[in-house]
Amino acid sequence: MIAETVRIPVPGGRLQGTLAYPADQPPSRTIVLAGPHPLLGGDMQNNVLVGLEAQLVVAGSATLRFNYAGVGESDGPDALSIEQLNAFLATSHMADETRRHEDLAAALHFATSTVGQDVPLAIIGYSFGCAVISAWLEHDLSATSRLDPQAIVCIAPTIGRHDYGGMSASSVPKLVLASRDDFATPSDVLREAVSSWTEPKRLVLAELDDHFFRGCEAWLSGQIVPFLETTGRVTNP
Amino acid sequence: MLAQPVLLTGATGFVGRYLLRQLTAEGARVVVLVRADGEATAEARVGNLLSETGRVVPRNVTVIPGDLSDLHLLPRRFAELLGACETVIHAAACVSFKARPNGDPVKTNAEGTASLFRLLNGGKLKHWVQVSTAYVAGRRAGRVYEEDRHHGPFRNPYEASKWQAEQFLRQQAVATGLELTICRPGIVVGEFASGRTISYEGFYRPLRLLRLLAERFKEKPGSLGRDVSLRLELDPRGIRNLVPVDWVARQTVELAKAAAGGVRTFHLTPAEPTRNAEVVSAIRTAWGSRGIVFSAPMAPERRTRWERLFYANLSSLGPYWAEETEFDSTNLSRTLPDDPAPRIDSAAIVRLVRFADADDWGASSASRPARPTAVFPCRQYVERFLFDRVKQSSLPRLTQLDVTVALSLSGPGGGTWNCRFDRGELSDILPGDVSSAEVIYASDSGTFGRIVCGELPPAEAFFDRRFEIHGDVEMGLKLATIFGHFVREFPFPSPEAVGFVRMNEPQATR
């Protein structure tokens, strides 16, 4: 496995990322990982992102994980400023958080242009990252977009805290994974929300580690890899 | 109830020292049979194990200097002390996989067991607890059950000698009515929570080899090199029966207490074994060695020189490397349902290897004298430093911060405190009951010390399960971010400067 530190161009700067891929074979798919909320300890070193990267590359994929603007070494206004913290304490939201889909869009374009436009694309979101995917689907995925994801995986989506309209309307095959004791989204709320999403979709609930999946990273990849292998759509034939 | 006094053999070994700590912690009267070692007397060796600050053996521990192979030389008064024991936990063993010129491992494991039985038989002995190994099953396909009475081809003389000892004891138990409990651990590794270990054998051997090779396969920004991978000829889904040493000791002592008569056998093995993929994932996390990948078995000539080096050095562990056995532990889970094996997942392996790195894989601890146990001055930090510095920090600008947060810190120097924030101002810090706090952070004093000194980011500690959040988890996560902000502004001064005596176990590094 090879992992490269990369800089993803965005308007006004660059985002910090890690592009990982198999050392001895061309990648069979490109997977972009969207991480949790920066003000809830979320960065590209998160255990879920790092754990999945390891397993997915072993399974033959190239992965890109990245820091949102203002996080870690990514350019942008400091995501952890006192002003942001104050706003977050009051609302559980940070300024401009609805625009993180622009970061994801940049990461997707970088990944596909680096790995290859003809390599099937999948997106995995964890926690807030699921809402970022939803926002990207709503804003960026249009008839003119050159990006055509084969599959989307939502890990512990933050239903009720963020807007999932884009996810709901998307016909991209979706796998939703969550723990039954997730503090962020109760199981019944998640079931109800996912039931209203456009097919194809699959929801898997298990007894894991609340919202955090500490020590459950291998379980996640055990669900995701077969799902990706059985979703047949290939981009840009 | 534990029939007392308890005779413990092998107390200076890996599992044995945890057995001794467990027994003494429970207040048992313990007689330990220990060899003198060079200039160190048997009593000094035991004292070192029990207390890191001195060499005083507690009153409830009696040390008898002796060797399993020379039990006939024991002075009569010592033999009488041994004969007065009602329970024996026999953990002494030679763990060499290779036959030695002196007859080991058969000499110690099989003949030594028989010698000890003969010495104790006729005394007050009621219950023999034999610390064996799950690998007495030999090389077998399919699931191995605790009640199985057959074995596959042994991989080495060690497995054969442990099986021989079990068989001898079974025969004696049937003949004499002695209660026999056979504990068969899987692959024993360091403590679950801290990763601490004193043994770098078994599972640690291939890990250490990988450590030595890891630097070569480390992530290099921008690297597009071709010769940067080490291929492990393993199935990522393959299993490893890893169990933490502290859990093994706990289970063994509980089984010694759970007397039920007759002969019982227990696999001290994980219900959900570790996967190879988790081991490699942990290596990547701990060492950044992204070039270590899985591969199908290949002809030796296709291996790179690094791969040949790795496999050549596996040596006697080779037979365990490529294949693992699946052990059933129904007897154990029925008898002790409340304390299942903690799962050795990626995070746990990261703790194991970080401890090993900090301990220089045993090279440092072997020559290091016992040092004082760590005491991070949590009280000094919370009640003085935190209280004073918060006022100088940017936290009072967090006007939305209205919460009572509690700290529950275990271990030396720990304690419990409630911290009340009103509109960002830290109005009160009170020691005592934390049950009414909206958010409770639970950790150990050592981890807390590393966090407040800026050595360990709170988020990383949380994701490594070094602290837990109870109560309002979302608020707890927000506060962890805020606390990380505060620590960056006001890191606690260098621990040594304020009298923080380093833990005897080395601190992990990242």
Contact B260, B191 (CB under 8 A): no
Residues of A with CB under 8 A from a CB of B: 1-5, 20, 22-24, 39-41, 43, 45-47, 50-51, 54-55, 58, 80, 82, 85-86, 88-90, 92, 183-184, 210-212, 214-218, 221
Any residues with CB less than 8 A from the CB of B175 and at least 6 apart, and which? none
Residue of B nearest to A218 (CA): B278
**Residues on chain A touching B473 (C-beta within 8 angstroms):** 183, 210-211
- Polymer length in residues for chain B: 510
Task: Identify residue A133 by its one-letter amino acid code.
Answer: I
Whether A85 and B482 lie within 8 Å, measured CB to CB: yes
Tens of pLDDT, residues A70-112:
898 899 888 778 888 888 888 888 878 878 999 999 999 999 9
pTM of the model: 0.53
Residue of B nearest to A82 (CA): B398
To test the contact with chain B by mutation, choose from A89, A185, A212 the residue with the greatest count of B C-beta atoms within 10 A, namely A89
**Residues on chain B touching A158 (C-beta within 8 angstroms):** none
| Structure confidence at residue B102 (pLDDT) | 80
* Calpha distance B333→B100 (Å, rounded): 37
Q: What is the pLDDT confidence band of residue B90, given thresholds at 50, 70 and 90?
A: very high
Q: What is the pLDDT confidence band of residue B34, given thresholds at 50, 70 and 90?
A: confident
| Structure confidence at residue A65 (pLDDT) | 96
| Structure confidence at residue B424 (pLDDT) | 87
Residue numbers of B between 382 and 401 with CB closer than 8 Å to A: 394, 397-401
| Structure confidence at residue B499 (pLDDT) | 43
Whether A82 and B343 lie within 8 Å, measured CB to CB: no
Q: Is A127 a residue whose pLDDT tops 70?
A: yes
What is the crossing angle of helices B14-25 and B42-50, to 10°?
70
* Calpha distance B285→B287 (Å, rounded): 6
Whether B480 and A41 lie within 8 Å, measured CB to CB: yes
* % of chain A residues with pLDDT over 70: 95
Whether A3 and B236 lie within 8 Å, measured CB to CB: no
| Structure confidence at residue B9 (pLDDT) | 94
Q: Is B505 a residue whose pLDDT tops 50?
A: no
**Which residue's entry shows tokens 């760590």?**
B374
**Which residue's entry shows tokens 């990006």?**
A147
Strands B30-34 and B61-65: parallel
Mean pLDDT of A62-76: 93
| Structure confidence at residue B40 (pLDDT) | 59
Q: What are chain A's domains?
A: 2-230 (3.40.50.1820)
**Residues on chain B touching A223 (C-beta within 8 angstroms):** none
Any residues with CB less than 8 A from the CB of A190 and at least 6 apart, and which? A157, A159, A176, A178, A182, A203, A205
Any residues with CB less than 8 A from the CB of B80 and at least 6 apart, and which? none
**Residues on chain B touching A89 (C-beta within 8 angstroms):** 398, 400-401, 478
Average pLDDT score, chain B: 82
Paired tokens of B381: 């930090």
Following DSSP, what letter does each residue of A46-110 receive, concatenated? -HHHHHHHHHHHHTTEEEEEEPPTTSTT--SS-TT-HHHHHHHHHHS--TTGGGHHHHHHHHHHH
Least confident of A97-111, A195-209, B254-268, B431-445: B431-445
Mean pLDDT of B308-334: 84
Q: What is the pLDDT confidence band of residue A170, given thresholds at 50, 70 and 90?
A: very high
ipTM of this predicted structure = 0.85
Query: In the sheet that A29-34 helps form, which strands lie side by side, from edge to edge?
Result: A2-10, A13-21, A61-66, A29-34, A121-126, A151-155, A174-179, A201-206
Tens of pLDDT, residues B48-75:
666 543 345 666 788 888 888 777 777 7
Q: What is the pLDDT confidence band of residue B38, given thresholds at 50, 70 and 90?
A: low
* % of chain B residues with pLDDT over 90: 30
Average pLDDT score, chain A: 89
| Structure confidence at residue B50 (pLDDT) | 64
Mean pLDDT of A199-223: 89
Q: What are chain B's domains?
A: 6-193+240-271+325-339 (3.40.50.720), 378-498 (3.30.1050.10)
| Structure confidence at residue B222 (pLDDT) | 41
| Structure confidence at residue B507 (pLDDT) | 34
Closest CA to B19 of B35, B8, B28, B29: B8
Q: Is B506 a residue whose pLDDT tops 50?
A: no
* Calpha distance B213→B269 (Å, rounded): 30
Size of interface A-B (CB pairs under 8 A): 114
Q: What is the pLDDT confidence band of residue B365, given thresholds at 50, 70 and 90?
A: low
| Structure confidence at residue A143 (pLDDT) | 45
| Structure confidence at residue B430 (pLDDT) | 85
Tens of pLDDT, residues B367-418:
343 333 446 888 888 988 888 888 888 888 888 889 999 998 887 778 889 8
Q: What is the pLDDT confidence band of residue B88, given thresholds at 50, 70 and 90?
A: very high
Tens of pLDDT, residues B387-399:
888 888 888 888 8
Mean pLDDT of B135-145: 92
Q: Is A146 a residue whose pLDDT tops 90?
A: no
What is the crossing angle of helices B112-120 and B76-83, to 10°?
80
* % of chain B residues with pLDDT over 70: 86
**Residues on chain A touching B461 (C-beta within 8 angstroms):** none
Residue of A nearest to B288 (CA): A3
